[in-house]
């Protein structure tokens, strides 16, 4: 499957999604922005797209996947993590724990909208590692996970890329200004300390939800070896490597969807 563009029919352009805002349910939480397209019926699967660092719910992959699902039956929901897009908050408090809380709030919304719908989490980079952890921590809540270039050890790798002096400055000031694509973010040091509570070994041992990792073999952001090692150590995870694929894999969005659709449709 790697590197092969699979035949597929042209997707129907989706009708506009319903824009939804989830108000804070706790003083420490921010308003969350969602885009929600219901499925053909209340029992149809719902694909939940989780974006990467510095992106948002209306990125290229999210919109393309929604278009492909239009008319096929499943619903589609995408959300802006706190500090991203139209959601409230900032990235000073960004952490895996906070992202997991955001997913939980979106799942609660879906349980009201489509109580019987099997949930399929589709996460890209930061969203990919969050999807895997959510499925691990809440067994039975998710039917399947697709993790596109999941950002294993995101905070640790980022900290390791800095000089010792820069790391001390980050920890001392509490935040670091970084450029992600065309966006400038201020990332809090708490992201690093929070990640210590989420060891990859525990994720590999506890994840029971069928999960497919999709990783480009020329990813210069997240080494593909991390996905290889994880898939080798986790009975629930499989890996598809994309020949010539970079981290974003934006140029092969149709192939990504077809890989996921085929896997989701398999019995």
Q: Helices 126-137 and 96-113 sit at what angle, rounded to 10 degrees?
A: 70
Band of residue 5 on the pLDDT scale cut at 50, 70, 90: very low
48 φ, ψ to 5°?
A: -115, 115
User: What is the model's pLDDT at position 14?
Assistant: 52
Model confidence over 128-187: pLDDT tens digits?
999 999 999 999 999 999 999 999 999 999 999 999 999 999 999 999 998 887 788 999
Which two three-digit tokens encode residue 250?
Answer: 């934006």
Measuring CA to CA, which residue among 39, 62, 36, 60 is closest to residue 50? Answer: 62
Residue 8 has pLDDT above 90, yes or no: no
By the 8 A CB rule, do 121 and 48 touch? yes
Section 84-111 average pLDDT:
97
Q: With b meaning 16 or more CB within 10 Å and e meaning fewer, what string describes 12-49?
A: eebeebeeeebeeeeeebbebbbbbbbbeeeebbbbbb
By the 8 A CB rule, do 203 and 153 touch? no
Domains of the chain with bracketed CATH = 18-265 (3.40.50.1820)
Mean pLDDT over each residue of the chain, to the nearest integer: 92
Measuring CA to CA, which residue among 58, 145, 50 is closest to residue 100? Answer: 50
105 φ, ψ to 5°?
A: -65, -40
How far is residue 62's CA from residue 49's CA, in Å, rounded to a whole number? 6
Model confidence over 217-228: pLDDT tens digits?
999 999 999 999
How far is residue 267's CA from residue 257's CA, in Å, rounded to a whole number? 18
By the 8 A CB rule, do 207 and 135 touch? yes
pTM score: 0.93
Find the farthest-apart pair of alpha carbons in the chain and give their distance in angstroms, rounded: 56
């Amino acid at each position: 499957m790697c590197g092969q563009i699979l035949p597929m029919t042209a997707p129907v352009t989706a009708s506009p999604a319903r824009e939804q805002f989830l108000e804070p349910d706790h003083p420490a939480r921010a308003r969350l922005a969602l885009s929600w397209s219901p499925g053909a019926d209340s029992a149809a699967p719902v694909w939940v797209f989780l974006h990467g660092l510095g992106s948002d719910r209306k990125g290229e992959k999210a919109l393309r996947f929604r278009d492909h699902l239009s008319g096929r039956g499943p619903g589609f929901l995408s959300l802006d993590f706190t500090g991203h897009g139209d959601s409230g908050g900032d990235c000073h408090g960004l952490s895996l724990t906070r992202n997991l809380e955001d997913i939980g709030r979106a799942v609660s919304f879906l349980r009201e909208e489509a109580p019987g719908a099997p949930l399929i989490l589709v996460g890209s980079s930061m969203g990919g590692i969050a999807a895997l952890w959510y499925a691990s921590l809440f067994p039975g809540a998710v039917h399947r996970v697709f993790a596109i270039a999941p950002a294993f050890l995101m905070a640790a790798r980022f900290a390791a890329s800095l000089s010792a002096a820069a790391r001390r400055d980050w920890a001392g000031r509490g935040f670091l200004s970084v450029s992600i694509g065309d966006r400038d973010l201020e990332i809090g040091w708490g992201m690093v300390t929070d990640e210590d509570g989420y060891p990859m070994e525990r994720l590999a041992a506890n994840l029971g939800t069928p999960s497919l990792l999709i990783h480009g073999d020329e990813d210069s952001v997240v080494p593909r070896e991390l996905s290889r090692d994880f898939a080798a150590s986790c009975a629930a995870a499989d890996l598809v490597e994309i020949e010539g694929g970079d981290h974003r894999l934006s140029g092969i969005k149709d192939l990504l969807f077809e890989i996921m659709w085929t896997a989701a449709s398999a019995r």
